[in-house]
Every structure is written in structure tokens, then in C-alpha cells.
Structure 1
Amino acid sequence: MKITKLFFFAVTLFSFFSFSLAYCQSGFIYGDLLPDAPELAARGKFRVGVQTLNLVNMNQIDVIHSRNGKDSIYNRPLTVEVWYPATIAPDKQELIEYEEVMGSSNDPKRPLIPFKFRGRALRNAPADKTEGPYPLLIVSHGYLGSRFLLTYLTENLASKGYIVVAIDHTESTFRDAASFASTLLNRSLDDLFVLNEISRLGKRESKTFLSGLVNADNTALIGYSMGGYGALNAAGAGYSPQAVKFFGQMTGGSKALEKRMTGNVTTTLDSRIRAIVAFAPWGMERGIWDAEGLKGLKVPTFFVAGSLDDISGYEKGIKAIYDGALNADRYLLTYINARHNVAPNPPPAEALAAGLPLDEYLRYAEPAWDERRINNINQHFVTAFLGIQLKGLDFKKYLQLKENSNEATWTGFKPRTSVGLELKHSTP
């Protein structure tokens, strides 16, 4: 009996490694199209460059080192990755290797594991300004995460004529994980700071590669999980009194979050923010949002959720946010039977071949869905939504759909492929 079990385990392990190695060597890059990808998932006409910027937000509250209700101050560093339309010679390969880690720097049970993965962009390529300035998209990862968590989407959108800026939220990445209080306070503040900085760097007198390239007056925020939490607040949804109380208990009395609470002038919408894409936004089940705060969200918003989300919640979580945002023109795309991971890249192929711990695998993967399939569907719908909101493109047919995808083939989907999805739409 023991020999049979051992043999079965060995065969299973060999099959897993064989599959993983084949996956690594297949040439598939995150964001590439599967045969059943919907129409707008295809890349756009622009080739894509990528550069890294190191920004510093001066004189910010250092909530991690604040004590007894007295806030400490520090200069907050933020690394961002910028994808943009680029001029690349036809004979030059549009290829990059990103360096990433999985794990958590503050959890001994989840040691940092470095890995690399490829993308379809070229490092430091000259910018293509022929059709600029381009709309700005600011991308915010979850807790934990990094600026490389959604490269399938950031590269894809840059190829369609956007400047895409993804933030490494300090104290909230795999490499520098720290108190959750920093994430609670800084997400919306980081978004707004980066908006201001990219606007400044986009001015013609800046003499940077972004000079004359970006139209920050035409901006959308894209956030996943805690990134969605921050994006909603940056767009006018105020935090609840309960959220402020929760934050104060966590930090020993800090009142810093009050500035982003419902009714405070700092939650007034920045007119440059024209749209939001919120993947699995966190907080409703924890009382972070209430009816009054959600009324402050007035920009068009595209929510994406899994019907079995076990982190942000669905009925009492993401769907409740969608239902409560009464003043916004809003959509809710639901992956039936998906959990929380409706936004990130697939599990790292290189790490799979090395034997990825289950806990790390489940930071990326969906048990009932192929993550690559989710990526293609996200590319399609985000392209349609942002094309309408920021570019005035005639993409409405891709969003005017029968609510249940099982009942009719959705526009833009190949026959027999629009299954397991729901799309709700509500207007103010």
C-alpha cells in the first residue's frame, strides 16, 4: 500500500514538473492571446517602451513609526514603471525580462523567492510622440504585490496609446512588506502624488522622456484589491468613521486617515481623474465604506470581481460597493466561481518548474479559471471601457450585453466562448 502511494506521488510530481517545464519553454508571454481571446484583447498598433522612475514624496506621515497619537514624518520613496508608445526599429525585438520576487519580507514562513519573466516591451526605447499626448493610466497593486503584477495589462494598454504608470507602493510590496496601516493610509495618497508628478514630468519644459508625451488631464486609475480601495478613495469615495476608528486602533491613536474621510475637503474629486477600473476592491465587509462615502464616487467605474471572492467578499463586499455607488455610471463584471485573483499575471512559470509552494501559487491562480483566459478577458473589457471614457471611441457595443453570458454570445467573443460571466450596468 505504501509503495503504491509513493509511486502515485512520484508520477504526480513528475507530471507537474514536466507540465511546468513545457509551460516555461512554450514561448508564451503573459498577455499573449489564447485562441479563444475576445476581440479587443489584441494588442494595439503601437510598439511599447518601458522605463523606471524613482520618485520621492516629501514630508509624508510615517505611520509605522508614529507613537501615542503623534505622527512621525519622512520622505516617502516610490518606484514606478512606465510603459508608453515607442519608436522601435522593425528588426529590433520588443522583448524585456522583468526581475521579481514572490513571498513576503515580513513572514518567515514565506521566504522571498526571486524569479524572472518576460514581457513584450523594450527597455528605454525612444518615445513615439506622433499621436501624443496620450491619456494617463495609474496602476496600483494589491497587498502584497508590486508594479509588475499586471504586466499583461500594462503592456497591452500602452500598445493602444496610453501612458501606463504602475506604482511600487512602499511598505506594501513583496520586498518591503510592513504594517498594514501604511497601506490603509497611503494608497490614495500615492495615486494622487504620482498623478501630480507625471503631470509635472509630462510638461514640455521637463526635458524628460515624458515631455509632451502625457495628458494627465485625461487620467484613469486602475487598482487591484488594496489598489482598488485606494483608487476609489482617490476618486472621491470617502472612508467611513469606522475605518478611521479601525486605523486609529491599529496605529495607537493616529488620526491621519481622517483627512480622507467622508465630508473632508481632501476627498473632493480631482477633475483630472475621468474613470476608475477597480479589480476586487477591498474594505466593504470591514466597514471601510458606508452609504454616505460611496455617494462621493461620481466618475464612471468598471468593477471586476469573482463571485466567490474570499478576501474582499462578493455579495457583502464588491457587489455591495457597486450597488452603493449610486452617483456613478458603473459596471460590474463577475467571473462566476472565481475567488480574489481576477487581476494579476498567471503564476510564475519559472517558479512553477522549481516547485512553487501552494500558498504562493494561490496568490496568482484561480482554482476554477485559467488565469491566462482571465487576462485576455480583462484586456478586452478594460480596452472597451477606457476607450469610451478617455478616447471617445465607439466601443459601446462591447458593453451593451445580455447580463448572463451563458444566455447569448457576447459581442466581441467567439462562438461558444462567452460563458461563466455576468456584466451588470447601473446609471446614476
Structure 2
Amino acid sequence: MKQNSIKLLILAIGLALCSNSFAQNTAETFVYGDALPDAPELAPRGEYKIGVRTLDFVNKNQVDVLKSKGGIDPTYDRPLKVEVWYPANVAADVKDLVTYDQVMGSSNDPKRPLIPFTFLGRAVRDAAPKTTDGAFPLIIVSHGYLGSRLLLTYLTENLASKGYIVVAIDHTESTFRDAAAFSSTLLNRSKDDIFIMNQITNLGKDKSSFLSGIVDDQNIGLIGYSMGGYGVLNVAGAGYSDQIIKTFGALSGGSKAIEVRTGNNAEYKASIDPRIKAVVAFAPWGMERGVWDTETLKGLKIPTFFVAGSQDDVSGYEKGIKAIYNGAVNANRYMLTYMNARHNVAPNPPPAESLKLGLHFDEYYRYAEPAWNERRINNINQHFVTAFLGIHLKKKDYAKYLDVNQNSNDKPWTGFKPRASVGLEMLHAEAGK
């Protein structure tokens, strides 16, 4: 009996070690954006191996709203760092894994000190670009407040692997590392997007650049999350209402610098770029604060895909994101809703470091959803963004993936595994409706 007990103990220890080893291997090999077993059809990565590079730009002579006083606006040279993902030539024996450096916390909150961490992506740092397949549509990606250019790597890598040049911006004074007053974010989001878009298209024409000849500057998409959504909608034609001038002035010492992004401003109207063919707005912020009104939303005429959580307590749902969707009557538009989700319908999953005891709760809830698995959300986003951008930037025949019944619980959605399309809603309205 004693001998049998020893054998059982040895067996139990062996199984525990094997189980622990398996768990560690699984954790080590899973990369944000990998397809889960129930991922919808268009979620997996595409045919291209991808490269990634970090670039730095400077937008000169911009309003330094953080130093505005008495209605007087000083200027400064505004630095902007971006991450670029692109189809690349990667040898078969090269492991396509990259390590990204990120931080949690907030530089302007003593209760949330910056905590460095790293995570893996599926790309090769500084790989040679793929130059034999012509030019690829350009996508500009804008994070939330606070956030970073690495907040949506599950999506940026995924799109690059499907034949896009994807550029995510670190919006200065709006990242975890350099958080500053909100007035900078209000003013600079759309301006940063336009500046970087033009810088990248210029590099596509520069024979000395690694992007030479591979940027299709006539087919551009914009993706924004939260304050990023606030910015990309403005770039796409939804000029801000006059109400924001008062709000902005109260936050910035009387500055009226944001007036150039309001719907009635001639400079704003001239900035609308016909090269932009599609917009994806995750949980866009602002409608509940009067950022747009009925008239200014009419300026949005570009096909737009909204993504929302029905319980969003940051941007608001019925009077927030859904009100933007309903008011954008001149755009062919969709709205995907995660039922019972709150605001975090766009970012990467929570990093392992955010699970440590003793950290501020927001280090975890910057990423996590209470009622949804973030990896599952990531796969669904990959599927629908691939379909939407594929239609408008690549002329793909993906309409069947978007033209689904309103409630996913009533009938399985095209492209989803059996029993997997639950808890979702899709609205669609043609331009003019």
C-alpha cells in the first residue's frame, strides 16, 4: 500500500510538472492577435510576413496649447514617434518575433507610477520591405488617452500581413510616458493624423526611403480608438461644433486654436482629403460633450465602421457612439456593438504585469472588459476590420461578412464558427438614411 502511495505521488508530481511546462510554453508562444479556435473566418493573419520600424518626425511651429495664456498661443516644434508595419521579405529560417517595449501607469498621476514591460509581436525589426507586389494601401492608427502606438498591435500587425502599410502614432502629451493636460489631446489629435499621413505618403515617393514605391497614397484608411476616434472622424469630415471652442478655451487659458478644426471653418473644409476612403472608429469620444451636432456630423461622407460597447461609460452609448452613427446621415456606415461591453473594445489584452497584486486597478482595466474575453474581442475586430477595409481599400468581395442580421443571437453570422456568434449587434445605414 505504501509503495502504491509513493508511485501515485511520483505520478502526481510528474503530471504537475508537465502541466506547468505546457502552461509556460502556451504563455510564451501566444502572441497578441493569434487566432483562437473560435476566431471568425477573416481574423487569422494574412499571406505576408511583416517588418516593423520606428520613425521620428517633427511637426514644426505648432500651437503649444499647454503654455497658452490670455488667448495668446506660443508655438513649438512638436515631436511625433510612429511605428510602421509593412509587408516584408523574411527568409523562411528567420523567426518572425519582435519584442515591444511598453509601460503601464501614467506620468501625470503619482498613484500610477510608470511600470516598464515587454510583449511579443509577430514581425521582424527593420526587415527589408516587399517591393515586388506593387503599392499597398496606407492605414493611420490613433490611440486613446492615455495610450501608445503599441496599444493595438494585434490589429496593426494583422492588417500589415494582409497587404497594408500600417502606421500607429504616439500622440505627444497623450501617452502613458508623457501624459499632459487634456487640451493638447483635444487640439492635436486630428492635426497629428494629417501630418503623419502626409509624411508617410511623401516617404512613399522618396527613393531613399524603405517605403519608396510601396505606399498607395490614393487609398488611405483611418483607425482611431476613443480620443483616436474623436480625431479620425474629424479628419474624415465631421467638423467639430462651435461648442468645442468654449470647452477648449476654458481648458487652455482662453485659446481658440481649435477653431481651425470646426465644421464651419474654411481652413477645415479645405483640409478634407479625398484620398481617405474608409474610417474605423472604436468607441469614439465626444458626442455627449457637444463635440459634434446634427449639422457637423453631416460632413462625414466617407464609409465608416463604428465599434462600441453597449455599456460604454466613457464615450457613452445611446447618446454617445450610437448618436454619432445615427447623425452621420451622409456616410455609408456600420456599427458593431459588443453587448454588455464597456469602453475597452479596441486594445490588446491585459499584459501579464497588470495582474500583479498591489497595482492600481486601472493598470488592468486600461485593457480588460468585465463581460468579454479581450482575445475574443481582438479576433472579432480583426475579422470585421479586414472585411470593411478590404471592401473600400482593396475592392475585395467581402460584403457578405458585413451584411448580417442585426442580432447575432437570432441567426448565425457569416464567417463565424457554429455557436460562436453571440452577444453582438450589427447596424447598417446607407448614405442618405
Shift of 1:353: 5.1
Structure 1: segments with no counterpart, 5+ residues? 1-17
Structure 2: segments with no counterpart, 5+ residues? 1-19
Q: Secondary structure at the match of 1:137?
A: strand
Residues 1:383 and 2:392 are matched in the alignment:
no
In the other structure, the counterpart of 1:10 is none
Shift of 1:351: 3.9
Deviation string for 1:388-410 (max 9, x for gaps)?
Answer: 00000000000110010000110
For the 8 Å contact 1:305–1:340, the answer to whether it is kept is yes
User: Within 5 Å, which residues of 2 pair with 1:8-27?
Assistant: 25-27=27-29
Residues 1:210 and 2:211 are matched in the alignment:
yes
In the other structure, the counterpart of 1:37 is 39
* AA of the residue aligned to 2:63: I
Provide the C-alpha distance between the structure 1 equivalents of 2:25 and 2:47, rounded to a whole number of angstroms.
Answer: 28
Provide the C-alpha distance between the structure 2 equivalents of 1:157 and 1:266, rounded to a whole number of angstroms.
Answer: 32
Provide the C-alpha distance between the structure 2 equivalents of 1:134 and 1:91, rounded to a whole number of angstroms.
Answer: 25
Provide the C-alpha distance between the structure 2 equivalents of 1:215 and 1:91, rounded to a whole number of angstroms.
Answer: 30
Residues 1:253 and 2:258 are matched in the alignment:
no
* AA of the residue aligned to 2:397: D
Q: Secondary structure at the match of 2:66?
A: strand
Provide the C-alpha distance between the structure 1 equivalents of 2:101 and 2:358, rounded to a whole number of angstroms.
Answer: 18
Shift of 1:352: 2.5
Shift of 1:24: 7.6
Shift of 1:350: 3.8
For the 8 Å contact 1:24–1:350, the answer to whether it is kept is no
* AA of the residue aligned to 2:226: S
Provide the C-alpha distance between the structure 1 equivalents of 2:129 and 2:74, rounded to a whole number of angstroms.
Answer: 40
* AA of the residue aligned to 1:45: E
Shift of 1:132: 2.2
The verdict on how the C-alpha distance between 1:289 and 1:144 changes in structure 2, with shifts beyond 3 A counting, is same
User: Within 5 Å, which residues of 2 pair with 1:127-276?
Assistant: 127-203=129-205, 205-268=206-269, 269-276=272-279
Shift of 1:26: 4.6
For the 8 Å contact 1:402–1:410, the answer to whether it is kept is yes
For the 8 Å contact 1:24–1:353, the answer to whether it is kept is no
Provide the C-alpha distance between the structure 1 equivalents of 2:83 and 2:28, rounded to a whole number of angstroms.
Answer: 27
Q: Secondary structure at the match of 1:41?
A: coil
Residues 1:89 and 2:129 are matched in the alignment:
no
Shift of 1:23: 9.0
Of residues 46, 52, 61, the one that matches 2:48 is 46
Shift of 1:120: 0.3
Shift of 1:355: 6.0
Provide the C-alpha distance between the structure 2 equivalents of 1:424 and 1:302, rounded to a whole number of angstroms.
Answer: 10
In the other structure, the counterpart of 1:278 is 281
Residues 1:331 and 2:334 are matched in the alignment:
yes
* AA of the residue aligned to 1:216: D
* AA of the residue aligned to 1:324: G
For the 8 Å contact 1:298–1:329, the answer to whether it is kept is yes
For the 8 Å contact 1:282–1:318, the answer to whether it is kept is yes
Shift of 1:131: 1.4
Shift of 1:266: 2.8
What is the CA RMSD across the aligned residues, in angstroms?
A: 1.4
- Normalising by structure 1, report the TM-score: 0.94
In the other structure, the counterpart of 1:290 is 293
Shift of 1:22: 5.1
For the 8 Å contact 2:239–2:297, the answer to whether it is kept is yes
* AA of the residue aligned to 1:402: N
Provide the C-alpha distance between the structure 2 equivalents of 1:228 and 1:415, rounded to a whole number of angstroms.
Answer: 32
Provide the C-alpha distance between the structure 1 equivalents of 2:375 and 2:388, rounded to a whole number of angstroms.
Answer: 20
Provide the C-alpha distance between the structure 1 equivalents of 2:310 and 2:375, rounded to a whole number of angstroms.
Answer: 18
Deviation string for 1:302-331 (max 9, x for gaps)?
Answer: 000000000000000000000000000000
Of residues 416, 420, 425, the one that matches 1:417 is 420
For the 8 Å contact 2:354–2:364, the answer to whether it is kept is no
Shift of 1:265: 2.1
In the other structure, the counterpart of 1:118 is 120
In the other structure, the counterpart of 1:5 is none
Residues 1:403 and 2:410 are matched in the alignment:
no
Provide the C-alpha distance between the structure 2 equivalents of 1:407 and 1:24, rounded to a whole number of angstroms.
Answer: 35
Of residues 81, 85, 108, the one that matches 1:79 is 81
Provide the C-alpha distance between the structure 2 equivalents of 1:23 and 1:303, rounded to a whole number of angstroms.
Answer: 36
Provide the C-alpha distance between the structure 1 equivalents of 2:164 and 2:150, rounded to a whole number of angstroms.
Answer: 17
Provide the C-alpha distance between the structure 1 equivalents of 2:344 and 2:60, rounded to a whole number of angstroms.
Answer: 33
For the 8 Å contact 1:200–1:206, the answer to whether it is kept is no
347-356 vs 115-124, greater mean Cα deviation = 347-356
Q: Secondary structure at the match of 2:154?
A: helix
Provide the C-alpha distance between the structure 2 equivalents of 1:216 and 1:58, rounded to a whole number of angstroms.
Answer: 23
Shift of 1:354: 6.8
* AA of the residue aligned to 1:134: F
Provide the C-alpha distance between the structure 2 equivalents of 1:291 and 1:328, rounded to a whole number of angstroms.
Answer: 13
Deviation string for 1:105-128 (max 9, x for gaps)?
Answer: 000011101100000000000000
User: Within 5 Å, which residues of 2 pair with 1:337-376?
Assistant: 337-352=340-355, 356-376=359-379
For the 8 Å contact 2:96–2:122, the answer to whether it is kept is yes
Identity, % of aligned positions = 68
* AA of the residue aligned to 1:106: N
For the 8 Å contact 2:404–2:426, the answer to whether it is kept is yes
Shift of 1:272: 1.1
* AA of the residue aligned to 2:406: E
In the other structure, the counterpart of 2:62 is 60
Provide the C-alpha distance between the structure 1 equivalents of 2:412 and 2:392, rounded to a whole number of angstroms.
Answer: 24
Provide the C-alpha distance between the structure 1 equivalents of 2:94 and 2:420, rounded to a whole number of angstroms.
Answer: 35
41-50 vs 350-359, greater mean Cα deviation = 350-359
* AA of the residue aligned to 2:328: A
